[in-house]
Amino acid sequence: MKVLMVIPVFYPAFDYGGPIPVALNNAKYLVSRGHKVTVWTTNLVSSKGGKLAKRTEVRDVEGIRTVYLNSVVRYRWTGLAPDVFRYAYREIAEYDVIHIYGFREFLTLIASVWARAVGKPYVLQTLGTVPRITRSRIKKLIFDTLFGRTILHSAAALIAKTPADREPYLHAGIAPEKISLIPNGIDEPMELKQVREGEFRQEYGIRDDEALFLYVGRIHPVKGVDLLVKAFAELDGPVRLAIVGPDEGYRRDVQRFVVQRRIGRSVIFTGPLYGARKWTAYRDADVYILPSIHENFGNTVLEAMVCGTPVIVTDRCGIASQIKDRAGLVVPYEEEALARAMERLVGDAELRERLSEGGRRLLKDEFSWGPIVEKLESLYEEVVAEAYEIRGSGSNDRGEP
């Protein structure tokens, strides 16, 4: 099959979080199975607005033909890339199936409109962005009224990563049979073999007798880092908290909580860490915490599990039901509940070991890339076959909307 993936940002833009390695691995495994994969994305590579190049470029990324469309205007975390019209006109009719990541995005809108115009099926993976739960709710409502409902209902299939991730689709009126449950996956990274135990602790002056709690991700209101700081402040004994990730305009507020609770000497802000340096943090941590207000999956939980680090997540994380009492603890989004779970886990070495082993088994059974990409491949085949049945001999393959 010829597969087109459309995503607002792509490799090497890891600042933007979990969707980037997920899309990259999906594409790599599809290529390894004999499919031809093209990615359309913008040339933004950092949350600060840095760009890969000054103009649109086509590059090979591990066998994936990647079109980095020049972003001429940036809005929040993504941008407008008018060159997509040129590529849509020339190419979109050539693909068997289009996989779109994201929902209220410029590239999503253009790709979905053009796909419908030429009769090509598209699979939509909204990355948990359907609910209007955070800022700009009025703008989101306007987008949904004008475009969003059509984008959702015109998709040949929609992908949910967890059972909880299906709910927004159902609330939007999507038929259950159109929703496929395909989780994210993870492989043990090569960089992990380069990691020496104690390296992160040594770099940041964390003693061996200090319990280390870790958060990895964007410093953004939806991630609940403020709740984590407040819960951490309730703990006694030799404890440290490392907050790893890029600032998305919320770090100053979090640091204010740190100052107010008088725990400045115990909290470390490292900024974003990549490659082996990130894995040293996971390896040296005693407990990993994802305290999100809303999280449709939680890739960093898988990363912690790869390193054998037990986790705590809020019940608002999509992955919660899958890891509960198997790889970690699940708590309500409450300061007291999170503090007690942190206290319990760091004080019980036997429980930490059990959850660590449970996490490794869970990764093997449910989150390895091979079976996941097989599900994705089967979904593509189903929607392509259905599209051919519907189109018959009356297809429009001229590449014009």
Summarised one tens digit per residue, pLDDT across range 253-305 is 999 999 999 999 999 999 999 889 999 999 999 999 999 998 888 899 999 99
Q: pLDDT category, 395, cuts 50, 70, 90?
A: very low
- 41 burial type by CB count under 10 A (0-12 exposed, 13-18 middle, 19+ buried): buried
Provide the phi-psi class of 324: left if phi over 0, else alpha when psi is between -120 and 50, else beta: beta
pLDDT at 121: 97
- The 3-state DSSP class for residue 40 equals strand
295 contacts: CB under 8 Å, gap ≥ 6: 128, 222, 223, 313, 314, 316, 317, 318, 319
Q: pTM of the entire structure?
A: 0.80
pLDDT at 399 over 60: no
Q: Which of 47, 34, 48, 46 is nearest to 3 (CA)?
A: 34
Flag the least confident range among 125-139, 178-192, 211-225, 348-362.
Answer: 125-139
203 contacts: CB under 8 Å, gap ≥ 6: 280
Give pLDDT tens digits for 337-347. Answer: 999 999 999 99
Handedness of CA 343, 349, 351, 353 (dihedral sign): positive
Yes or no: domain 2-185+368-391 corresponds to CATH 3.90.190.20: no
Structure tokens at 300: 């960093």
* Cα dihedral 367→302→280→26 (10° resolution): 60
Domains 2-185+368-391 and 190-365 are alike in CATH topology:
yes
pLDDT at 103: 92
pLDDT (average), residues 208-227: 95
pLDDT at 357: 96
Report the topology of domain 190-365. Rossmann fold (3.40.50)
Q: Which of 87, 105, 79, 103 is nearest to 38 (CA)?
A: 87
* Cα dihedral 10→11→17→19 (10° resolution): 50
- Contacts for 58-63 with beta carbons within 8 Å, 24 or more apart? 61/10, 61/11, 61/24, 62/24, 62/28, 62/31, 63/28, 63/31, 63/32, 63/37
Q: What is the DSSP letter of 225?
A: H
Q: pLDDT category, 398, cuts 50, 70, 90?
A: very low
What H or E segment, with its residue span, contains residue 23?
A: helix 19-32
pLDDT (average), residues 106-123: 96
When the pLDDT of each residue in the chain is averaged and rounded to a whole number, the result is 91
Domain spans, the chain: 2-185+368-391, 190-365
Handedness of CA 35, 169, 303, 349 (dihedral sign): negative
